[in-house]
Amino acid sequence: MPTVTWARVDPGRRAAVIEAAEAEFGAHGFSQGSLNVIARRAGVAKGSLFQYFADKRDLYAYIADVGSQRVRSFMEDRIRELDPTRPFFEFLTDLLDTWVAYFADHPQDRALHAASSFEVDTEARVSVRTVIHRHYLEVLRPLVRDAHARGDLRADCDTDALLSLLLMIFPHMALAPYVRGMDPVLGLDDPTPEQPALAVRRLVAVLADAFSSTSPARKTTKEVSR
């Protein structure tokens, strides 16, 4: 995270560094992203970046946090509008529709999300995914917990497994409709305008079948063995 010097920097200069770093990392990821380019575009000396951040990976994680907070703020506003107290899988469908639409309308955030997902440097990927997963879980965990408490999920529901699946589905649906080659199965490689919404409904239907309290009762292991 930033050094104390960063907090003392003029707000305009901070904004310039963030804008330049988001553009460079979004376009080239961590491994190929250039601190020289970031410094030049921000109008600062490259050495100044090391006064603001411990190293390149620290800057990358900070930019991921800034972008995640921006997306999170938008989605939390939409969550309140969508009413998370209504039936969970109905709510989740609308939330994912909103999520897909957000990344359609915000290519810079989509680029940053793609850069973090496809990063080849292990340490950088772990650093940035740790930041992003924290934001995901701080939003999604209370939604799943409340749905379980309301009875929308089966009493024996493995909520951690559901959260893990959501951690795969949300990033996938942020990118797959816009990045060719990610999902040929659900028709997202070259989607029609309707295809992302259809994919959302298919994915939610699978989750509902596995976790909803109203899904058909499953046979116990003992019953299956008879």
27 found inside a domain: no
103 found inside a domain: yes
178 found inside a domain: yes
| Number of domain units in the chain | 1
In this prediction the pTM is: 0.88
Q: Which residue range forms the structural domain that includes residue 196? A: 61-214
56 found inside a domain: no
Q: What phi and psi, each to the nearest 5 degrees, are found at residue 176?
A: -55, -35
122 found inside a domain: yes
41 found inside a domain: no
Per-position pLDDT tens, the chain of length 226: 789 999 899 999 999 999 999 999 999 999 899 999 999 999 999 999 999 999 999 999 999 999 999 999 999 999 999 999 999 999 999 999 999 999 999 999 999 999 988 888 888 889 889 999 999 999 999 999 999 999 999 999 999 999 999 999 999 999 999 988 899 999 998 889 999 999 999 999 999 999 999 876 444 333 433 4
Query: Which CATH number does the domain housing residue 191 bear?
Result: 1.10.357.10
140 found inside a domain: yes
154 found inside a domain: yes
